[in-house]
A and B are shown apart, each in its own frame.
Chain A
């Protein structure tokens, strides 16, 4: 077989292309693994939920927050003037994602009446009234720019909420990163939306067009609702003062989180 034989050309064509899994993908898998429960035949909590879901969790956390906040606002449960309703988006036509699916677990009973204490994140610069039964696991490092898809567990502030009636542990996760100098806020948002599915593992929304404009604490961002293992999730992303924000988690918990959330710097 000489160098110009068709099979030689086909073989060379087939060999062209990448052969090493990108580090960001390997890391996304590792993050998602740490936060995704395994399916076991035994009854009881999956271990993945004891370590807050971050793979789909982070994205999930952000999405959930927005939706819950919105519904809570409209139903007058929160009545926070800092939180507004969605703004019509000319490019994103909301559809299925706006209709939350059944939610079972901690989101059914957010501990709205539980006593709270102020929580302030010196790393990311936000505060909220943390219910005392929300276990805080603060980030141990900053979410650097360039890590577009999803912050890892180390760069995420996580709030774990005890399970209700045998449901999984709930979670709210928060992180923000500086936007790279060569990137516009719109590009950051677009990049996150486009790559969003990395953060979700097997729990993907149908389409990026399900993102809806939403305002939290005076900052208009985007929210996406979806469900994962029958748990309603919300992802919220926004850009403020040169930083890209991601807030994600179980919808009712994120709604509750948003009810007192403030940017503190």
Chain B
């Protein structure tokens, strides 16, 4: 079904492309949000990726490659969003959503802050690898395809990102213990 939609969209069928947006939009948005940690910029990145996909679709020779190709466009759009000068988008900022049930109680406010700060220190490339693996559940080879680096580099980035986030949690935990220790 997806291949048929891609073929029709490649021939200029915008309705078929809309169906592809329906099929892949949610996952793209979820990935983009987790890389960018910003609702509006995630929306921008997704829109940018899909528009680029639409424009360049006639050049995609193998319709079966649409999904990995789209992921690569999405990751690049996220990189661009992170690079972009955000002066004008920062004037109005929608607060990040916590989902229908609110924040996950598994994560305390302090832990969330610590993880947010640590994630913010990661490069876009590290963020993308981490999210594609731990959120999208992609195999390392597919991640390598999406971000355009060897599998070994993906492993290295994944290890570094995971270590940094764990360290942030441990540091936060140590600070909390020190603060609660009786004088």
Contact = CB atoms under 8 A, between A and B. Distances in A.
Given A13-B104, A21-B26, A36-B51, A197 B44 contact: yes
B63 interface: no
B91 A190 contact: yes
Interface in A161-219: 190-191, 193-194, 197-198, 201-202, 206-209
Given A18-B39, A37-B55, A30 B30 contact: no
A36 B97 contact: no
A243 interface: no
Contacts of B43: 21-22, 25, 198
Interface in A20-72: 20-22, 25-26, 28-30, 32-34, 36-41, 47, 55
Contacts of A191: 92
Nearest to B92: A194
Interface size class of A (residues with CB under 8 A): 35 or more
Given A30-B21, A38-B57, A19 B26 contact: yes
B91 to A, nearest CB: 6
B139 interface: no
Given A10-B115, A22-B43, A17 B30 contact: yes
B67 interface: no
Contacts of B26: 19-21
Interface stretch (B106-114, B140-148, B149-157): B106-114
A23 to B, nearest CB: 10
Contacts of A9: 106-107, 111, 115, 169
A99 interface: no
Nearest to A55: B51
Contact of A18 (B14, B97, B107, B166): B97
22 contacts: A8-B106, A9-B111, A16-B107, A17-B98, A17-B99, A18-B97, A18-B99, A19-B29, A20-B29, A21-B25, A25-B25, A30-B14, A30-B21, A33-B51, A38-B58, A39-B59, A41-B58, A41-B59, A194-B88, A201-B48, A207-B85, A208-B88
Given A16-B99, A18-B33, A19-B99, 18 more contacts: A6-B166, A6-B169, A9-B111, A16-B104, A17-B97, A18-B42, A19-B30, A21-B26, A21-B29, A25-B25, A29-B21, A38-B55, A38-B56, A39-B58, A41-B59, A198-B43, A198-B44, A206-B85
Interface of B: 12, 14, 17-18, 21-22, 25-26, 28-30, 33-34, 39, 42-44, 46-48, 50-52, 54-59, 85, 87-89, 91-92, 96-99, 103-104, 106-107, 111-112, 115, 131, 134-135, 162, 165-166, 169-170
Complex A-B, nearest 4 residue pairs according to Cβ-Cβ distance, in ascending order = A208-B88, A21-B25, A12-B106, A21-B29
